[in-house]
Structures are given as structure tokens and as C-alpha cells.
Copies of this chain bind each other. A is one copy, B any other.
Amino acid sequence: MADTQRTPDAYEELNDLRMSEGARPLYEHVKKFIAETVQPMSEEFHRLGENNKDIWSYAPGQLECLEKAKDEAKKQGLWNFFLPDAETGEGLSNLDYAYIAAELGKNSLASETMNCSAPDTGNMEVLERVGTPAQKEQWLKPLLEGKIRSAFAMTEPGMASSDAKNVSMSAVLEGDEWVLNGDKYYISGAGDPRCKIMIVMCKTNNGDDVNRQQSQILVPLPYKGVTILGPMHVFGEPDAPHGHMHIRFENVRVPKENMLLGEGRGFEISQLRLGPGRIHHCMRSIGSAEKALDLMCVRGLAREAFGRPLAKLGGNTEIISRARIEIEAMRMMVLKAAKAMDVLGNKEARVWISMVKAMVPERVCLIIDQAIQIHGATGVSQWTPLARMYASQRTLRLADGPDEVHHMVVGRSELRKYEGGVEDPALAAIWRK
């Protein structure tokens, strides 16, 4: 990579992918807490929800059960540790967080229990960095306390959001209010009855500088003019009650003060948010891949056909080997991208982030798909988590920039090294041919 332009010391440091001494106790604590508290709680939680009539609410007892575990987490100090370099939180490095996030990826309620779940994490980070004292008091505080939840409204149904500049939702300043009009969809978490605040990406300016046309504005929920049209499904799943909502904004008026950072600075805030967020997803994806491989091995040994366990029939042992190799390679890449963010900053680490975002969800999808195949029909059913895991990883290939955009970032960065002309005489000799 562009590493060659850096000092050898920074280059070397990038390859030290060890967890810090300081983080290890937290890491071990989190693993223990997941095993002892989250795992039994999540079994109870799902059991309580089994026959819930209104899927867009929590069944009686569910929230109590979750809150109890959250209280326990808070008590044990396992709370908000996602937040890097902050007064609040543990101030974990991205690298240390990567190790922990892989563990969080193995249980779907683990992140929330420790107040480390998306999209709240990104929203809290944004508010912590760019929020005014009043905004912090009103929204960041209850978020940090786990009292409310939040959403981030970016994607629009009528636009190719692979191009981040494609935003059509308008926000016009009328007097002391911003007036918002437009549709957003795939607003994850907006179905949750506890979701009280959204950050909404808007187009505020039609000026020439395409990097200054967007703004991010706070919109409470529920709110006048804001209509939830319905949930977007993901491979047939509404993911209720969290939900990925389709929301219409009709003359939604919010006070001028709800603007974050300043008009035209929406793109700037996104940059802040997207680095860590993309990596957090990929860290959890490693956990997901590990789980899929676990299930593949267990099922492959437990079931027999033609007189042998499935895991030893045909190409299955090689499939297991390839899954293990991919997981180890992905793990190292995720750790390295996290380290690059720590050492070089989010901006310089951008190519590493794109490499990981383009690499990981695509390959994890394949591993889950192979785990499905070895399970037979049970693999696509609700009896294993595999179909839902697949849907989630498949969707990740579309979210926060589709694979194609990240490959474009990486490919162009590679070509840029050469665009000043070729200097290596050996290469130059070939070039002339």
C-alpha cells in the first residue's frame, strides 16, 4: 500500500496486531459476561417473544429481562466501551475494540446489553464529537445511559446511494426552522418503540461544491410530519421490532439549533462516522463467520450419509479448510485496518477500511452459504441462525457503500501510485514494449 511513503517506524507499528495489555482484562471480562449473563438472558428473551402477536412491540417481560442484563453490565463496568478516546467510555483503541467486537458478533443481543450497538454507537460518537452542549444534554446523555435508542436516516429509495452525493431529501431554512421534505428508507432501529431521535442527512444547498451540499439534522421521534410508511424487509425478515423503516418527511419543521456542526458539513460528519462504523461491522462479521464454521463442523460430524459423516464426504473437508483460511486472513486484515486507524488516523486509513469492507462481508456470505448447504433444508430454516446471518451479511455488502464503491477506492489508490509516471527501470523497460 501507500505504506512506502510513511516512515519505516509507522509501517512496522502497523504489523503489531497484539491486543494491548490494558485491554485484555476487559476482553476476558466481556467473554465471561456474554457466557454467563447474555447467553441465558437471550434465550429467555427469545422464548418470551415467541408468540408475540404485535411484532412491532416487545412482549411482556422482554424489556425487563434486557434491562436487567444492561444494569448488570453497567454495574460490572461493561458499558459504552466502544467510544474511542473519550472522557466517557473506556477509550479503547480500534485494535482492542476489534478483538472485543468479534466476540460481540457471536450473540445478537450482546452489543445492546453493553450499550455498544449500531446505530447508537455511531450516533453517540457523532454527538460526542460535534454536538453542542444542549444537544449533548438532551440526546447524548440518555443514549449513553441506555435510556433511549436512535436511528440514522441516510439512504433514499429513489437514489443510487452507492454515490454518497446522491441525496434528494431537502431541508430549507424558513425563519428559525429547517423544513424537511422527502423519503428515507432502511432506517435501521426506527421501528423500536424506544427510538427517540434520528440524525437525518439532507440536501441544504445547491451550490457548486458537491462536498458542501449536505447537512445532518436532528429530528425527534415521533414528530409532526414524520410518517413511518412501513418496514423494509431483508430476505423476508422485517427484523421487528428493531426494523428497517421507510419514513416519509412532509414539511417537518425542526428548530434551527437541530443542525449538527453547521450547514453544508454533512459529508464531513459522515467521514467521521463511517470509518469506525464500517470496521465495527466487519469485526462482528468475523464472529459470524466463526459461528458458521462451528455449525458447519458440528453438523458435518453429526450427520451421516452413505456411511460416512458429511464432513468427510466429497469436497466438504476442503470447504472447511478454505473457510478456516479465509477467516484467519480476514481476521488479520480487520486487525490491521483497526491498527491503521489507530496509527494513521481515519483519513489515511481509508484504503485499509475499504479493503476490509470490500473483502469481509462477501466472503462471510460464502462461508455461511456453505454452512447452510451442509445443514440441508434445516440450514435455511428458523432452526439455525444461518439464514438470518446470511441475510445480515448479504445486506452489509450493500450498506455503508456497496462492494463496488470500496473496490473503486482501493483500485484507484493503487493506480495513483503510478500516475506520476513509472520510475522503476525494470518496469519501464517492459512498459516500452
A: residues with CB less than 8 A from B are 1, 8, 12-13, 15-19, 24, 39, 155, 157-163, 166, 185-186, 232-237, 244, 293-295, 297-306, 310-322, 324-325, 328-330, 332-333, 335-336, 355, 358-359, 369, 372-373, 376-384, 387-388, 390-391, 394-395, 397-399, 402-404, 406-412, 414-415, 417-419, 422, 424-427, 430-431, 433
Beta-carbon contact of A433 and B24 below 8 Å: no
Beta-carbon contact of A377 and B186 below 8 Å: yes
Residues of B contacting A235 in the complex (Cβ-Cβ under 8 angstroms): 235-237, 380, 387, 390-391
Residues of B contacting A155 in the complex (Cβ-Cβ under 8 angstroms): 376-377
Beta-carbon contact of A407 and B16 below 8 Å: no
Q: Taking the nearest CB of chain B, how far is it from the CB of A149, in angstroms? A: 21
Counted per complex, copies of this chain come to 4
Give the contacting residue for A314; candidates B293, B318, B419; CB below 8 A.
B318
Beta-carbon contact of B318 and A411 below 8 Å: yes
Beta-carbon contact of A387 and B233 below 8 Å: yes
Other than the given A160-B305, A233-B380, A325-B333, 14 more pairs (CB < 8 A) read A161-B376, A161-B377, A232-B377, A236-B236, A236-B237, A294-B424, A297-B414, A298-B430, A314-B317, A314-B407, A318-B404, A321-B358, A321-B407, A328-B336
Residue among A320, A373, A404 with the most chain B CB within 10 A? A404
With contact pairs A321-B414, A376-B160, A430-B295 given, residues A382 and B232 touching in the complex (Cβ less than 8 Å): yes
CA distance A336 to B325 in the complex (A): 12
Beta-carbon contact of B373 and A398 below 8 Å: yes
Beta-carbon contact of A414 and B320 below 8 Å: yes
Give the contacting residue for A330; candidates B163, B329, B394; CB below 8 A.
B329
With contact pairs A160-B376, A305-B160, A407-B317 given, residues A415 and B328 touching in the complex (Cβ less than 8 Å): no
Residues of B contacting A317 in the complex (Cβ-Cβ under 8 angstroms): 314, 407-408, 411-412, 415
With contact pairs A160-B304, A333-B329, A419-B301 given, residues A12 and B1 touching in the complex (Cβ less than 8 Å): no
Residues of B contacting A333 in the complex (Cβ-Cβ under 8 angstroms): 325, 328-329, 332
Beta-carbon nearest neighbor of A390 in chain B: B235
Q: Taking the nearest CB of chain B, how far is it from the CB of A414, in angstroms? A: 5
Beta-carbon contact of A16 and B19 below 8 Å: no
Residues of B contacting A318 in the complex (Cβ-Cβ under 8 angstroms): 314-315, 404, 407-408, 411
Q: Taking the nearest CB of chain B, how far is it from the CB of A412, in angstroms? A: 7
With contact pairs A333-B329, A335-B15, A402-B376 given, residues A166 and B305 touching in the complex (Cβ less than 8 Å): yes
Q: Taking the nearest CB of chain B, how far is it from the CB of A58, in angstroms? A: 19
